Amino acid sequence: MTHPLDPADRRFAALPEHPGKIIAVHLAYASRADQRGRRPAAPSYFLKPGSSVAATGGTLERPAGTELLAFEGEIALVIGTPARHVSLAQAWDHVGWVTAANDFGVYDLRKNDKGSNLRNKGVDGFTPIGPELLDARTIDPAALRVRTWVDGELAQDDTTSTLLFPLAQFVADLSQHLTLERGDVILTGTPAGSSVVGPGDVVEVEVDAPTAPGAPTSGRLRTAIAQSHVPFDPALGSLPAVDDTQREEAWGSREAAGLPPLVGEAAADEAAADGPERFVLSPAQREKLEAAPVAGLSAALRKRGLHHCLLDGLRPMHPERKLIGTAKTLRFVPAREDLFTAHGGGFNTQKQVFDSVDEGEVIVIEARGDSGAGTLGDILALRALHRGAAGVVTDGAIRDFEAVAEIGLTAFSAGAHPSVLGRKHVPWDSDVAVACGGATVLPGDVIVGDSDGLVVIPPAVLDEIVEATLENEERDEWIAARIAEGEPIEGLFPMNEAWKARYTAWRRER
C-alpha cells in the first residue's frame, strides 16, 4: 500500500511517500551497547508513528514539565520495494535509499511507557528525517558514517563497521514477521554520545559514505529545540517523572548528568534496579581475572570488608576449567502443585532464561540449597552453550549429569539428581537478586569459579579487588621462591620489616 504525499506537507519532504511504518532498533552499535552495559544477541525493535516525522530546519518543542529530551543521531533506511521473508543476501536489494534521522526521546515519560516508547518517542516532530536521500545501490552499507553536532560541537561520530548487526539483517529479520512496504523507514540505532539538549540548542545529523566515489552525503539534518508550555492533564494519564537512573541514561553518564559516582551498596542497588541492562567485562578485566585465583579474590574481598561473597557447597563439573562471567539470575520457589501447574509448564521462566542468556553471562540459580531434583538438564545446557553462556551455577542439582559434562558447559552445582524440576522446584522469576550457595547475587555481578570454589564480586569494586589479588599473588610467589631456596617461614610468611624491604627492592629492580 502506498501513501501519497500532500505537496504542502513539508514534514515528509525527504521521503518518497508517507511511511506506513517507522521501525526503530533498540541497540545496534557496540559503543552504545557497552555504554548501556549489555550486548544483545539479536536485534529488538519498537514502532514510531508517522506523525512524528519532521523535515530539516524545523523546531522541536520539549514537552512541558520535562527535563530530559535526548537526541539520537541515526542512519535511516527507506524501503524501495516490498520485502517479505527475504534472506540476508537479498535484503539490501529492498532498501531504496539511506538518509539521516534523529530519534528524539523524553526520558521523563519512560517510566510508564518503557517497552512501547510511544509517549516518550512518538511525539509530533520527534523523528526528523533528511534532508537528502542517498541511493542505496551506490553505497556500501558497511561503510557508512553517522555524525551528530550540538551547537556546532561534534557529539557522535561512528560508522557501520562497528554495528553489532549488519544493516541488511534488520530488513531480513523484520521481513520474517511483517511486510516491509515501499516508503517504510527503519531507524538503525544510535552510537554512543547521545545526550540531553534543551531550549535554544540546535542539533544536526549527517549520514555520508566517505569512501564512496564523490563521498555522497545526506546533508545536515537540522533541528532547533524550543519549549512547549502546554501542560499534561493529570486526569488523563501518567505525568513526567525522573530519577537519577533516568538522568544517567539520558545524559550518557553520571558525570555528564552532574551526579556523584556510585560506590558500594548504591552501585549494587542500581545494578539490581536496571533490570536486563548489565555490567560488561572488558577484555582487559577478563584477562586479569584469568590470572586471579578464587582463593586470592576471596582474601581481597575480606580485606575490603566484604565477608559474604563465597558461594559455598558447590563443586565444579570440570575442575580444570575457570568460570568467569556476569550473572543472569533465575529463582525457584518450593514445589507446590497448583503453582507448578500455573508456572512450570510451557515456555516457563527457566526455559526463558536459558533461551535468552547472552554471551559471557553465567546463569546463577537459586534452588534454596535443595538438591532433591534437577534444576537443569542436557537440553537446556546445550541451549545455553549455543547462546555463548559462560556457564551455570546452581545450589541445586543437575539432571543428566554425564550428558551435561559431555556437552561441555562449565557448571558448578550441589551434585547430581535424576528427578525432574517439579519434584522440588517451581520456576518463578528471573533478573532479580537471588541467594545461591549462601551468597546474595545480583544481576550483573561478576562470578568467578575455579577448583577452590566460587566467589561473587560487585562490579563497583571489581578493579580494586583484582589488582589487590594480583599484587598479593606476586608477593606470595616471591615468598614461595624464598621458601624453596631454604629460607625459614618465621619472619617471611607473613613478612617482617626486613623481608618487606627486600621484596620492595626486588620489585623496584625488576
Q: How far apart are CA 264 and CA 253, in angstroms?
A: 18
Instruction: Please check whether the domain covering 10-251 is classified as CATH 3.20.20.70.
Output: no
Cα(333)–Cα(418) distance, integer angstroms:
19
Domain boundaries of the chain, sorted by first residue:
10-251, 283-462, 470-509
Residue pair 70/194 in contact by the 8 Å Cβ criterion: yes
Tell me the percentage of the chain whose pLDDT exceeds 90.
65
pLDDT tens-digit map of 387-400 = 999 999 999 999 99
Residues 118-131 have a mean pLDDT of 93
What is the pLDDT, as a whole number, of residue 114?
A: 64
**Average per-residue pLDDT for the chain:** 89
CA 478 to chain CA mean position, Å: 40
Q: Are 373 and 397 in contact (CB under 8 A)?
A: yes
Beta bridge partners of 45: 25
Rounded Cα–Cα distance for residues 69 and 297 (Å): 42
Report the SS3 class of residue 216. Answer: coil
Q: How far is CA 126 from CA 51, 69, 222, 289, 498, in A?
A: 9, 10, 12, 44, 69
- Of 131, 86, 95, 93, which Cα lies nearest the Cα of 23? 95
Residue 460 in 3-state DSSP? helix
pLDDT > 70? residue 8: no
Give the 3-state DSSP-derived string for 349-416, with helices as H, strands as E and coil as C.
Answer: HHHHHHHHCCCCEEEEEECCCCCCCECCCHHHHHHHHHHCCCEEEECCEECCHHHHHHHCCCEEECCE
| CA distances to 113, 257, 395 from 364, in Å | 29, 33, 9
Identify the band that residue 274 occupies on the pLDDT scale cut at 50, 70 and 90: very low
Q: CB–CB of 95/136 below 8 Å? A: yes
Are both 10-251 and 283-462 of the same fold?
Answer: no
Give the model confidence (pLDDT) of 257-267 as tens digits. Answer: 888 876 544 55
pLDDT at 115 over 80: no
What is the 8-class DSSP label of residue 444? T
Task: Compute φ and ψ for 150, nearest 5 degrees.
Answer: -120, 115
Three cell numbers, residue 296: 586470592
> Per-residue pLDDT tens for 322-370?
999 999 999 999 999 888 888 888 888 899 999 989 999 999 999 999 9
Inform me whether the pLDDT recorded for 80 exceeds 50: yes
Give the number of other Cβ atoms within 10 Å of residue 51's Cβ. Answer: 15
Q: Give whole-number Cα distances, 310 to 181, 265, 369, 449, in Å.
A: 55, 17, 14, 10
Specify the CATH number of the domain 283-462: 3.50.30.40
Instruction: Name the pLDDT band for 278 (thresholds 50, 70, 90).
Output: low
pLDDT grade for 493, boundaries at 50, 70 and 90: confident
